[in-house]
Structure 1
């Protein structure tokens, strides 16, 4: 998908109007209400067929380790050009990209029989970042060019879909270097929210280009006040994450690890001179750990990080750009061990990958050992389980009649 199409993100949750659907399955008493967990799991696979006016189909499955499922005569149709998804408080949110305008958002959960039912619809503005914080969802609308430089932050109750707080940030003032800050994502770290950002020109010509390709920034905000406390800076690699891509995760020890592809550009040419790497922020601190630097580009033989997904116990699934030293090439998958600073290419995965769900829409297995991702190839599309210790991929359910855009799960 084009970068511009991804702006919607979780805009949805800036819910301004809500209304219940009228189907029988939505009547009181038939639904879990969100947040209920009786031990049963239903997987949600979203798949796009490429048909005009249809973004995706929502498919459900009890077992994703085998078999097949199809969009033909099956699933819940999602209208529009593009849809984005998030699961919070046992609710599944489907967000329509509004092309800069407010877009419809549909909330689903499971009834007692495990059937996916429509819970509510509402309208919201388009935003560029969303993340779960406690029982809330934090969304951020970030201007990329023009006179406007104020990023709007919305704190939303994920159970009620109601805005409970707002804040603003002047992105030009935050950058402080003649450019503007553009948040790549936001991550809860302890009781605070850490927001990595890239410095961009925002000049209307080369909006996402920069004159500052070799620096890393993370803005630290209090929560729920959303007050800026400080900016953590480093110059050993480039910005963390990417446009619409998370690049900061907290592990079980409370430490935070940031992932940089070192692919900052100017006029579409990569100008980063520092390596693609992982940096660390120790628990209880708001500084980068100068004793830790995981040079992934060196360990991989010259490849750069495209996206990442934390598994557990220091294991991370990496999607790498396929052409060494660039931000181009068919995706390659690898497992990184953050604690031992080792890099292992994934085996048994498809040799030619069209695209995956590693960027944002994937799961971790119940035992925490593996990442569960959708992998699309010219030969077909499957859900794979990738073990974080062995780096071995295992093929699961095949999705026919559409390409996999997300995988999620709900309890009932």
Structure 2
């Protein structure tokens, strides 16, 4: 494993969102806000403080600095999720050689135990993503192992695996963004041509796997974008299924650093189809923002689809791709039906806070934000177009904010 690709893959845990053309509107801030009762709601929370990550369960009404004093400490690179009464963490070792998946079964009051109730170690290298099929099956993605590993979600015992074969000339077929539809998992494969330089294929590849048999049914390709996925996290916002049953995959095109042959954009697999829609591609850098064409190659990082064509995300560009600490990513609302982009009433934030963006159980969107002066957790009510601050973050930044409710 070479350092450049590994560092880019792990540094931000980026996820991407779907965009369209339009103009922004005015303020949507409201100190009263709306959304669920945070007095009674528990969340699986993760905060990055320097080179560490502190994770546990708490409420937005808790004192954040005191809260993390009782949280578990893990490496700065890792994932936090919730499923069926348990919190799951996927933490990468300091030398990037392995990853440990842990399950913490919550008690009747929604509290995490001190020790994990089950663990599974991945020895193929760093991993950031997993996806739940149901109470009997989940998949962990192993990008450096060219495979998905099937596990029992409760015991984390291995059930099987799905192996992928790199294309001719590629060193790796790294599984990344994935969605489940009609008994099949659609997983993007980043065909890495040069791992050391982080160069993938100038085309997109998706494997379609039958969940019942763990067999690859077919691998489909498209040439409208560069390789799909890879800069993703547990949001899986480089791939999602909308309410119509259509699947969308996004290509970030290596932050636009690889030249004209590497195109960004979204491609689609329509409901009932197992091939890419040849007539569809949506390129974010061809859209208008604030009434103007985006000439600098705009990209999306992080996001949550809230239904009815509405998407909350970050919008910006890596002017300096080697610096992950630029405050240049604007929180926005995208109306996919009206093809309109609207700024949320917050200033630009950090790109690597993208994993914090999650859809809450009431349909609002929660996310962490840091504008260089203050750090906090916000809730955005898409239907009411209202923004509310939920928690001041005085120590570090909110990295994962996950509702612990089925």
Which TM-score bucket, shorter chain as reference? 0.7 to 0.9
Q: 1:294 aligns with which of 264, 267, 282?
A: 282
Aligned counterpart, 1:262: 253
Aligned counterpart, 1:15: none
CA distance in 2, matches of 1:256, 1:314: 13
Tell me whether 1:282 sits opposite 2:264 in the alignment. no
CA distance in 2, matches of 1:336, 1:273: 27
- Cα distance, 1:158 vs structure 2: 0.9
Aligned counterpart, 2:207: 219
Given that residues 306 and 320 in structure 1 are in contact (C-alpha distance below 8 angstroms), is that contact kept between their aligned partners in structure 2? yes
CA distance in 2, matches of 1:59, 1:400: 17
Which string of whole-angstrom CA distances, capped at 9 and with x for unpartnered residues, describes residues 208-228 of structure 1?
A: 214x42x22211111132222
Moved more, 112-121 or 370-379: 112-121
Partner secondary structure for residue 191 of structure 2: strand
CA distance in 1, matches of 2:182, 2:121: 29
Partner secondary structure for residue 297 of structure 1: helix
Aligned counterpart, 2:316: 321
Aligned counterpart, 2:183: 191
Which string of whole-angstrom CA distances, capped at 9 and with x for unpartnered residues, describes residues 239-273 of structure 1?
A: 333334431101122111122233366xxx33244
CA distance in 2, matches of 1:199, 1:331: 28
Change (3 A) 1:69 1:325: closer
Change (3 A) 1:113 1:225: same
Tell me whether 1:405 sits opposite 2:403 in the alignment. no
CA distance in 2, matches of 1:324, 1:103: 31
Given that residues 266 and 282 in structure 2 are in contact (C-alpha distance below 8 angstroms), is that contact kept between their aligned partners in structure 1? yes
Change (3 A) 1:262 1:78: same
Aligned counterpart, 2:329: 331
Partner secondary structure for residue 286 of structure 2: helix
Tell me whether 1:107 sits opposite 2:112 in the alignment. no
Given that residues 382 and 399 in structure 1 are in contact (C-alpha distance below 8 angstroms), is that contact kept between their aligned partners in structure 2? yes
Aligned counterpart, 2:239: 248
The number of aligned residues is 357
- Cα distance, 1:73 vs structure 2: 6.8
Which string of whole-angstrom CA distances, capped at 9 and with x for unpartnered residues, describes residues 131-167 of structure 1?
A: 1223322012233xxxxxx523211111222212223
CA distance in 1, matches of 2:254, 2:361: 34
- Cα distance, 1:91 vs structure 2: 0.9
Aligned counterpart, 2:389: 395
Partner secondary structure for residue 270 of structure 1: coil
Change (3 A) 1:362 1:313: same
Q: 1:162 aligns with which of 157, 161, 167?
A: 157
Question: Structure 2-normalised TM-score?
Answer: 0.76
Given that residues 59 and 75 in structure 1 are in contact (C-alpha distance below 8 angstroms), is that contact kept between their aligned partners in structure 2? no
Tell me whether 1:200 sits opposite 2:198 in the alignment. no
Given that residues 315 and 389 in structure 1 are in contact (C-alpha distance below 8 angstroms), is that contact kept between their aligned partners in structure 2? no
Tell me whether 1:238 sits opposite 2:234 in the alignment. no
Tell me whether 1:176 sits opposite 2:168 in the alignment. yes
Partner secondary structure for residue 47 of structure 1: strand
Partner secondary structure for residue 263 of structure 1: helix
- Cα distance, 1:127 vs structure 2: 4.9
CA RMSD of aligned residues (A): 3.3
Given that residues 105 and 124 in structure 1 are in contact (C-alpha distance below 8 angstroms), is that contact kept between their aligned partners in structure 2? yes
Change (3 A) 1:182 1:404: same
Q: 1:384 aligns with which of 370, 378, 382?
A: 378
Tell me whether 1:362 sits opposite 2:357 in the alignment. yes
Aligned counterpart, 1:137: 138
CA distance in 1, matches of 2:12, 2:158: 20
CA distance in 2, matches of 1:379, 1:390: 27
- Cα distance, 1:60 vs structure 2: 0.4
Change (3 A) 1:209 1:332: same
Which string of whole-angstrom CA distances, capped at 9 and with x for unpartnered residues, describes residues 340-393 of structure 1?
A: 4x13132212x23134543x343213332x321111232222111234457654
Given that residues 44 and 59 in structure 1 are in contact (C-alpha distance below 8 angstroms), is that contact kept between their aligned partners in structure 2? yes
Change (3 A) 1:308 1:256: same
Given that residues 294 and 338 in structure 1 are in contact (C-alpha distance below 8 angstroms), is that contact kept between their aligned partners in structure 2? no
Aligned counterpart, 2:25: none
Moved more, 73-82 or 296-305: 73-82
Aligned counterpart, 1:3: 8
Question: Structure 1-normalised TM-score?
Answer: 0.75
Aligned counterpart, 1:46: 46
Unaligned residue ranges in structure 1 (runs of 5+): 10-39, 144-149
